[in-house]
Structure 1
Amino acid sequence: MSTKDNGDNIIKVDKWDGAAVKNALDDVVKNILIKKYNYIENFTLLDGRLALSAIAVLVAGVALAWDYFYPFPASKPVLLICVSIYFVLSVIITFYTSYMEKGIFVVAIQRDPSGYDPDIVWEASSYMKKYDDKYSLILSMKNSSTGVSNEASATKSVANFIDVNGVVIPELVEAVVSNLHDSLSSERKDK
């Protein structure tokens, strides 16, 4: 569980909870891309999952309401159809999160101030194996007009970003994100 202090924006996590540590570090990376680099967050990828989930909940609601008004023997065909649709939607959501999202927790758009060059799409994804202290961050940059994509990654122990009390040190995360960002930006300029 992470908490934020109102005054200093201190993020404290249970350093033994891998999921909480990963989520806290992901939040810091997201804040760096959005606030430091002043990129615009794009929610399209997450909205796709929310839309699929909303449809699944709607189908479950229809099944519940139908069964309420027409108790079980009469509602059997509708329940069968709704359960089948719900199953298919669950499979689609699983494939969507596995193959479309791929662990991406933020999509940010870098707009050209002059409006002449195409937008650059930045995506950050991360992973941490269970019972492992290694946090792997992958930052990718894609030209929105050509579709050409480059990525850079870094794997570090979470001890590099969190002190002994479980407080995340954003400056240490920012150094890694900045290195990845700058290496990708310089590759783009060299081409």
Structure 2
Amino acid sequence: MKPAKNGDEVENDTKWNIEEKPVKIDKWDTAAVKNALDDAAKKVMKEKFGYVESHRLMDLRLLICTIAVGFSLFALVWDYLRPFPESRPVLIICVLSYFVLMGILTLYTTYMEKGIFLVALQKDEAGVDPDDRWELASMLKKYDDMYHLSMTFQDGKTGITRTKEISKCVANYFDENGLLCFDLFEPEITQLQSKISAEGKKD
């Protein structure tokens, strides 16, 4: 599969398969509903348009968590080797470090991730220009039925960004049994991508 060029769909000899296995969830579970829609949107961007997922945003979050867990494990081992009260200063440092890192993690997820669940790169076919960047972010509040999805494109050469958003009831995409109607959701993602690409061509 070749990456999409200039925002166009990937051209394949075989028809793109919009769904391999039906996704069924508990329609009253807000988190499950959001995750199902997020995964479906991610599938469209990666498989239909051929964009390459970047894990850098998630990797940084995992790094912060790993360091925090490292402090916890170090405190546990140190207390085993040098029982309290001898281990008290080290325990205090480790506990404070853990809470500081949790604070940093909260700030990171709030102001950096901002609900972003996919960062995808549109590779330059010639390999000369920087990769264009696509971001998908979503929000579905607890006990709410409105799914908010935003798609942001950043031009790799100019740095110019363009964003489109949709807000629709989740009932538009799930049947009464909680089965995701992928054929109804996929056009929403395609339309967002097409609108953003069309604006880029005008510019």
- C-alpha distance in 2 between matches for 1:132 and 1:113: 42
Q: What does residue 93 of structure 1 align with?
A: 105
RMSD: 1.2
Quote how far apart the aligned CAs of 1:71 are. 1.2
Residue in 2 that maps onto 1:176:
188
Query: What is the aligned residue count?
Result: 185
Alpha-carbon shift at residue 112 of structure 1 (Å): 2.1
Residue in structure 2 matched with residue 120 of structure 1 by the alignment = 132
Q: Distance in 1 between matches of 2:33 and 2:186?
A: 16
* Pairing 1:157–2:135 present: no
Superposition map of 1:1-191 within 5 A:
8-191=20-203
| TM-score where L is the length of structure 1 | 0.94
Unmatched 5+ stretches in structure 2: 1-18
Whole-Å separation in 1 of the counterparts to 2:202 and 2:20: 39
Task: Write the distance in 2 (CA, Å) between the matches of 1:117 and 1:184.
Answer: 19
The question of whether the paired residues in 1 share the 8 Å contact of 2:138 and 2:147 is answered with yes
In 2, distance between residues paired with 1:117 and 1:144?
7
Q: For residue 62 of structure 2, give the secondary structure of its aligned residue in structure 1.
A: helix
Which structure has more strand as a fraction of its residues? 1
**Could you list the per-position Cα deviations for residues 117-173 of structure 1 after superposition, in whole angstroms to 9, with x for gaps in the alignment?**
432100000001111111011000001232211100001111111111101111211
* Matched residue type, 1:106: L
* C-alpha distance in 2 between matches for 1:181 and 1:77: 55
SS at the partner of 2:125?
A: coil
- Provide the identity percentage: 48
Distance 1:133 1:125, change over 3 A: same
Q: Which has the higher helix share?
A: 1
2:42 alignment partner, SS class: helix
What TM-score, normalized by structure 2, do the two folds share? 0.88
AA paired with 2:61?
A: R
**What stretches of structure 1 of length at least 5 have no aligned partner?**
1-6
* Partner SS for 1:168: coil
Distance in 2 of aligned mates of 1:95 and 1:146: 28
Given that residues 132 and 156 in structure 2 are in contact (C-alpha distance below 8 angstroms), is that contact kept between their aligned partners in structure 1?
A: yes
DSSP 3-state at the match of 1:12? coil
Structure 1 outlier segments of 4+, above 4 Å: none
